[in-house]
Amino acid sequence: MFSHNFIEAKTKTIVLKETKLQAFKHVLHYIYTDKNISTLLPIAGICEVLELADQYLLTGLMKTLLDCILKRTNLQSIFYITNKFYLFHFDDLTKVNIRRIANFAKTTFEAESFKTLLVPVLHALLNQYLNVPRSMVFEAVFGWMQANQDQKMHFPMLVRTMTLFMIREEEVNKLVEPIQYVDKAVIQAIKDESQNNENVYKLVEHNVFEYARCFPIASENRFMGLFIDLQDCFILNSLSFKILNTFARYTVSVCTDNKTWKKVVDRVLHSCCGFQELYFDERPIRYAKIQCTFQRGFEIDRNSIKLSYQLTIPKIDPKTTLFFPNQNMVTIEKGAEVVKNVPCGFQATTVRLPQPFTVNCIKMRCQSENGIKVFVSTDNEKWVRVAVLDALPSNKLAWRTVMFQQQPVSFIKIGRREISLTDVRWKLDVNNVVCFWCDTVNRDEVAETTISEWEREKAYFSNPLNVKKAIKRFLVKDDDEQ
């Protein structure tokens, strides 16, 4: 530039337009000394030096300045920095900062500096998933409009990014009265369009309940359930929550329009308590209802509610909406407990599961000189005997395995075939019982089940009179099939 036929080579004074003197001094200092002192400047000063470093292709200085800016970014400066990144055409860094603003939308949308965002930056931000109520997004954008009325031509574009039909009518009316920010006809057209093309999000293994609105369903001063508005449509297939201090029977229904409800979980026939882990076929959901079918009602721990989309879920029985657990459901963490460990016609232990499951396999670690009976139930009243096991020859404490026809199970009763109160080692706890669903095709691979036991079981089916010699009742619907 100075040695060729340019105007700068022929004049003694060179004017650098749109260049701040202080920023240019820092650039010169870096060029002559290879030392950067710009990091001591305020954020605005650093951005001015960064602009010149980008203009003069000083990559070493740019890297140092960018590292400094990213470390010093906070709630007060992130909007200014994002605007600068956009103007410098730092596209990747602009996207990073927009995502940061979106991730902390509950705080950033209430900041006064939000109103300083450039139109393209704000538009890109509104196209991100924002985990805050739509009314909060509207209030932030409306405040931005009030502060930037010179950008009125862009207002319809910004309004189009919001789901207007999900926002209260009195709030939407602020756009036309007393000052008309957007034409009424345009608002109505946008509202109709957004209602017909509502965004549906799929957030993998993310609890979307965090910012949901909840309303109690009450009857005669009793809590009968919970109405949930997620404020956006999500693809979901999993729900979990905790029932407090009572047994309850309930249903879970979902929909996208608050009109056409679909029952995805039915526990009307089962008493449940404690932690509830539920799965259903994936579907778009905005509204959900958890309703108790008992007149006395029940209480839900709202802090325990999780609504999410899981990549892998257990197999679901379409008839009962129960799932087939592929892992042990009898654990203290899941809420299982011993509800009875006393003589009841015969010495027995009853284990209550927190919710019903469709299972076909039970394992127990116990010892009995007189053999074992195993029963299952859904209500702790009507019992189905699923196995009668002979005593092991060694009479040692050992794991025993029972396979039976898959069915809903909420209670498991394991007892001795004859009353004997002298053997205190008989008592069981939840650590000695395992319950799950096993693919019947692979049942021969189940641990602790010996070949001899299966052979004796087959003998039972071939000879109905040989009941006393059977190790298991593989398929029993009544107490007496004979």
For residues 386 and 420, state if they share a domain.
Answer: yes
Domain assignment of residue 13, yes or no = no
Q: Is the CB of residue 358 less than 8 Å from the CB of residue 324?
A: yes
For residues 446 and 343, state if they share a domain.
Answer: yes
- In which residue ranges of the chain is pLDDT below 50? 342-345, 419-430, 440-461, 466-482
- Start-to-end CA distance of the chain, whole Å, equals 107
> Last residue of some domain: 313, 328, 361?
313
For residues 274 and 225, state if they share a domain.
Answer: yes
Please state, in angstroms and rounded to a whole number, the distance separating the CA atoms of residues 406 and 356: 12
> Last residue of some domain: 297, 313, 329?
313
- Residue 127 is given by DSSP the state T
Q: How many domains does the chain have?
A: 2
For residue range 142-173, list pLDDT tens digits in order: 999 999 999 989 988 888 777 665 566 777 78
For residues 341 and 286, state if they share a domain.
Answer: no
Domain hosting 465: range is 337-469
For residues 294 and 379, state if they share a domain.
Answer: no
For residue range 36-62, list pLDDT tens digits in order: 777 778 888 888 888 888 888 888 888
The predicted structure's pLDDT at residue 341: 53
Please state, in angstroms and rounded to a whole number, the distance separating the CA atoms of residues 242 and 247: 11
Domain assignment of residue 55, yes or no = no
For residues 352 and 438, state if they share a domain.
Answer: yes
The predicted structure's pLDDT at residue 454: 40
The predicted structure's pLDDT at residue 64: 86
Domain assignment of residue 344, yes or no = yes
Tokens of 461: 């089916």
> Last residue of some domain: 258, 281, 313?
313
For residues 296 and 418, state if they share a domain.
Answer: no
Question: Among residues 333, 402, 407, which one has the least CA distance to residue 365?
Answer: 402
Domain assignment of residue 457, yes or no = yes
- Specify whether the backbone of 439 is left (phi greater than 0), alpha (psi in -120 to 50) or beta: beta
Could you tell me how far CA 300 lies from the centroid of its own chain?
A: 17
- Residue 389 is given by DSSP the state E
For residues 307 and 344, state if they share a domain.
Answer: no
Residue 144: how many other CB atoms lie within 10 Å: 19
Q: Is the CB of residue 322 less than 8 Å from the CB of residue 279?
A: no
In CATH, what number is assigned to the domain containing residue 226? 2.60.120.260
For residues 347 and 464, state if they share a domain.
Answer: yes
Residue with tokens 């500096």: 113
